[in-house]
Chains A and B, each alone.
Chain A
């Protein structure tokens, strides 16, 4: 492969500083006792040692848990609308995992469908994604069952591979090529480096042992849509909290609320979850009052409706919903136990 580059891990700080002149850089960060992609402080590259994947997916950086849409107020002259200030800057996410980058591609579809969501899309447009392949996937990961892999570079601009002391760097998109071209301090990759990289990738691929069979899954789910017994059994232990949906990199439901203080108001949108009994209750009532209907919605949206509408499964196998669930509800078990079509 021509054009691949190499950088020593020790020089990552220098590399990020260089990029920092043009971009705001987000790196895996610890916040309190949890992790997410947050603004780089200009020094710390310790994440290289501890980072496997962040608790909050990069979705948070484009579609935050809450955001101000606009403000409004009333005075003698009438109503005034103030648009939320959007800080226009180019940003670069460093070390995004393939599953989370793929998830952004899925969100792109959702946020462009019919209505173009300005909040999400403007952030997305000005962002470069630098992927970092996984050498140590979690036991909850199952990306290889969804046409991806720990080194899938489909939806990143530049892909990094950990080959020990160094990172192996591949340009993926035009924007990625441009950035690499003007970046100093990279050396050309040799055949030996390439061989090392392929070896690492293969080893890592084999570390993902959790598997699901997604062949005809949309058809299978369609066939068992009315199978109440199945869904009741599958959903029995779910406690209807929002962990799996909120931390899912592809879930995008939101709720809109006004905060009114005297004559001043702000309209916020914030994450919502189909797991909640009061979801979409605003107009009339939630048609999915029973828990099994809500669990069915979650599974079917990802594996049936989304593929039917957009041709892609809305799950990237990041495993967060399994890893972070308080009762160990496991979507792979649900998918694997969907009855075969008779």
Chain B
């Protein structure tokens, strides 16, 4: 199904949900105020459903709003987002019966930062970006340039193995298959692992020297649902609110441990970082560690215990004396 067919159906379904009183809120995407950009739409009004859109720029993981909204919600969810919803259900943050998941089989989203790098132009200087299956055409000053779609998709989309929501009430479109045989461009886990320990440490030291502690990475993350984050504790004061690189790094390390088994690799933390810190090189690594050690992927089974509250009596413990 084409995007506009999916969009038409979504608008219809969302309107029906509100009209029939099955949900109080709809959470989806609408056209944003900047070129190409989309923005979350949170509404109770059935007329607003005509503004819902589906396109290759629907980046936000909307499940971040679920813990905040009181009442039943119909939510638009891509593969990774739907797993975040399931993860929240596992953690008892939301109840399955309060959520209507309108799943979107996701063919991958376009990373505007990659587009900008590819063409050495800012997004507002570009004409159009049109995706056609595995190609993308980008126009500048009326002239179109053609690239393989893999050049401009987000790293996490290139590596996504489960692009179709597993948990949904309504699936908008046919299930899609993962994009295969692609190497991420920015996420540099393999390169880092191949470098000596000191260099890895120094890499993160440099990266976190830039951090200004705006906490966008944490606030955009549906798995970061603590009422009060440990960085905000003052007794004991684990780390200072002052953006020293040491404390910035500790903040991010502990955040990663806290979201282990909850992080669905939606990539939002890295996307929103205004200082361009390659956060996915941390979150993706944790995703892989969790999978390797416990064969666990976040948000796959709403009935499963959360990773860090579950255990098997016999588990690898080669590191324990």
A34 near B210 (CB under 8 angstroms)? Answer: yes
Residues of B within 8 A of A293 (CB): none
Q: Is the beta-carbon distance between A32 and B215 smaller than 8 angstroms?
A: no
1/0 contact string of A243-286 vs chain B (CB within 8 Å): 10011000000010101000000001011110010100010000
Question: Bound complex: CA of A291 vs CA of B64, how far in Å?
Answer: 14
B142 vs chain A, min Cβ distance (A) = 18
Q: A322-B33, A332-B33 are in contact. Are A327 and B60 (CB under 8 A)?
A: yes
Report yes or no: B275 in contact with A32, Cβ–Cβ below 8 A: yes
B contact face: mostly helix, strand, loop, or mixed: loop
Interface readout for A158-180 with B: 1 if CB under 8 Å, 0 if not? Answer: 00000000000000000000000
Instruction: Report 8 cross-chain contacts, Cβ distance below 8 Å, ordered by A residue.
Output: A34-B210, A139-B124, A240-B219, A243-B274, A322-B34, A324-B274, A328-B37, A333-B33
A239–B62 alpha-carbon span in the complex (Å): 11
Q: Which 8 A/B pairs are nearest by Cβ-Cβ distance?
A: A326-B272, A33-B276, A242-B214, A328-B39, A241-B216, A139-B124, A328-B32, A241-B219
CB nearest neighbor in B for A333: B33
A247 touches B274 (CB 8 A): yes
In the bound complex, CA of A273 to CA of B212 (Å): 12
The answer to whether A239 and B64 have CB atoms under 8 Å apart is yes
Confirm or deny: A52 has a beta carbon within 8 angstroms of a beta carbon on chain B: yes
CA distance A34 to B268 in the complex (A): 18
User: Interface residues of A: mostly helix, strand, loop or mixed?
Assistant: loop
B40 on interface, CB distance cutoff 8 Å: yes
Contact among A241, A246, A278, A323 with B220 in the assembled complex (CB-CB below 8 Å): A241
Chain B: CB-nearest residue to A33: B276
User: Interface extent on A, as a size class?
Assistant: 35 or more
Answer whether residue A237 sits at the interface, using C-beta atoms and an 8 A cutoff: yes
Q: A237-B42, A241-B214 are in contact. Are A139 and B276 (CB under 8 A)?
A: no
Query: Which one of A136, A242, A259 contacts B213 once the chains associate, using CB atoms below 8 Å?
Result: A242
CA A236 – CA B26 in complex, angstroms?
12
> Is the Cβ of B215 less than 8 Å from the Cβ of A276?
yes
Cβ-defined contact, A242 with B32, below 8 A = no
Q: B residues within 8 A CB of A328?
A: 32-34, 37-39
Q: Given the complex of chains A and B, what is the CA–CA distance between A271 and B124 in angstroms? A: 30
Q: Mark each residue of chain A from 69 to 105: 1 if its CB lies under 8 Å from any CB of chain B, else 0.
A: 0000000000000000000000000000000000000
